Structure 1
Amino acid sequence: MSQFAATINATEFPPQLKHKVIFETFNHLEPAQAMLLINDHDPIPLHFQFESMHKGKFIWEYIEQGPEIYQVKISKSSL
């Protein structure tokens, strides 16, 4: 069984849909579930957006930090 409830490869989506798909996927996670985000650049602006919209409700963990591929485990807090 995978440790991720969902995997999103952001490079497969047009720019205008990336964040929409990511947040919809996050919103469907159950508490304590995680998703894997794969991207071709550091998604730090997305992290700031998560902080703004879901402060205290997520855990952001880099699995791979470039230079070509970034992988981030985004977990929904169980609190």
Structure 2
Amino acid sequence: MAATTLDLRDVPPADRHPKIHDAFESLESGETLELVNDHEPKPLFYELRAEVPSFDAEGYEVERRGPTEFVARLPKE
């Protein structure tokens, strides 16, 4: 499965969700958007699950790599 990585740690909070939505929309079916973030993106998970039909919520994964580093995998159906 192909993945696109987006590091959000230096992106201002107000700009993060639009950037994520644009990147996710550009994915092909079966690809994954991998986010590197400074916090667990649980609100984003709920937002995508509710608003983006192509988001594969069952395949969502998040890994905490440190106190301020979380990697979330957002697969596209």
Same fold (TM over 0.5): yes
Q: Matched residues in 1 for 2:61 and 2:20: separation? A: 15
Other structure's SS at 2:45 match: helix
Q: Matched residues in 1 for 2:74 and 2:55: separation? A: 10
When the two chains are superposed, the root-mean-square deviation of aligned CA atoms in Å is 1.8
AA in 1 matched with 2:72: V
CA spacing shift, 1:56–1:76, aligned 2, 3 Å: closer
Decide which of 17, 20, 39 is 2:18's aligned counterpart. Answer: 20
Q: Matched residues in 1 for 2:47 and 2:30: separation? A: 20
Mind listing any 5+ residue stretches in structure 2 that lack a counterpart?
none
Deviates more, 1:11-20 or 1:49-58: 49-58
Is 1:73 matched with 2:73? yes
Q: Matched residues in 1 for 2:69 and 2:53: separation? A: 26
What number of residue pairs does the alignment pair up?
A: 74
Superposition pairs of residues 32-51 of structure 1, within 5 angstroms: 32-51=30-49
